[in-house]
Structure 1
């Protein structure tokens, strides 16, 4: 069963994020912060080319996590499909280090080089989920979130409910 799911995941074609669709579906979650320069967010000059997307979506303030955002990075292959992605839900104000601002993230950069400690080897390599707030070292399998839409859907629950994300 697991092998079949892994084969399906490996064969999955990932399409670039449709920003118009994202803004239509999740625009109500976005917030402008005076502490965040426009150039750093969807409200400024985000970067989108034929080869990549790099954009920060500042989110409404969360009662526990504070001022957070969803940072999306997609890199595209020659056929226009997403070959690398990173979707990071993080604290954006105040600016902090990578570990301190981390809430949750998903990506497919490879983490299976020789010598990888056994506790970091996962079944869905390279798709992984850094699921522990404040600790990007720990990761687990990522079966479900491989697109910006899916990442927004995950984060939406916590922004709308105000529930604390504790890692799952």
Structure 2
């Protein structure tokens, strides 16, 4: 397996995200403010955890982009960006639309179908099946993930891998 060199990723620039993608955000009464960008989202020197509720998609419904970043020495060492159905809650498996992560899956016991060339960066690309993954060379930041999701939200197109 080819392992890529370490990338130095900077933490998400939340004010820039709000400026670029603010037209996509929506506040749902069924969602507690503390659970989204509208409340006091969690950001420390070590971690960011925030949900961005998005305007209703004609096919996928009420979705959100959930971002988790873990930091060390001012850089992102681990990220998880998940586009998911947030209302109604469907459980971890059925709410999944698409996700991008850099959690390594290259241990010797890892099943072959989970080992990919862009390790540790990978894309969970199949809606409703987070177990499937493929290479991810392009979406490494929250801005990248928003750029991908924004296309589908703004156009109303259904996401199909």
TM tier, shorter chain? over 0.9
> Distance between the aligned counterparts of 2:54 and 2:89, measured in 1?
15
**Structure with more of its chain in helix, by fraction:** 1
Corresponding residue for residue 135 of structure 2: 141
Runs (5+) with no aligned partner, structure 2: none
In the alignment, structure 1 segments of 5+ residues that lack a partner are none
CA distance in 2, matches of 1:114, 1:65: 37
SS at match of 1:103: strand
Tell me the TM-score normalized by structure 1. Answer: 0.92
Deviations for 1:108-142, whole angstroms, at most 9, x for unmatched residues?
A: 11112222111111001110000000000000000
1:64 correspondence with 2:56: no
C-alpha distance in structure 2 between counterparts of 1:39 and 1:18, whole Å: 20
Cα distance in 1 between the residues matched to 2:6 and 2:37: 31
Among 90, 96, 114, the alignment partner of 2:108 is 114
Partner of 1:49: 44
Q: How does 1:55-134 map to 2 (within 5 A)?
A: 55-77=50-72, 79-134=73-128
CA RMSD for the aligned pairs? 1.0
**Distance in 2 between the 1:11 and 1:115 partners?**
23
TM-score (norm 2): 0.96
Which aligned runs of 4 or more in structure 1 are off by greater than 4 angstroms? none
